[in-house]
Amino acid sequence: MTRRSPGGWRRVFGIPLVVGIAGILGLVSALVFEGPGRVAAWIGVGLPLALVVWFVGRAYGGRSASRSGSPRPG
């Protein structure tokens, strides 16, 4: 059995924790602050949505190019 490095949990949960904290900070800043706080709220709340759209686009982007609808030669 191999040993895992002590920083293994950071590799698994690091980015989701950062995205979650950014979302929470965005929601709190939307409730508490005005002006620049609203910009931080849009960024914090929009980050998870932007990541989902980016990853879904990467996952399905290559498939749509192969299904162009034009008949194959031959």
pLDDT at 54: 93
pLDDT at 21: 92
DSSP per-residue string spanning 7-71? THHHHHHHHHHHHHHHHHHHHHHHHH--THHHHHHHHHHHHHHHHHHHHHHHHHHHHHHH--SSP
User: Tell me: the pLDDT tens digits for 60-69?
Assistant: 986 654 455 5
Residue 25 has phi, psi (to 5 degrees) of -65, -35
pLDDT at 36: 85
pLDDT at 51: 92
**pTM for this one?**
0.62
User: Tell me: the pLDDT tens digits for 18-28?
Assistant: 999 999 999 99
Q: Which residues of the chain have pLDDT under 70?
A: 1-7, 62-74
**Contact between residue 29 and residue 37 where contact means Cβ atoms under 8 Å apart:** yes
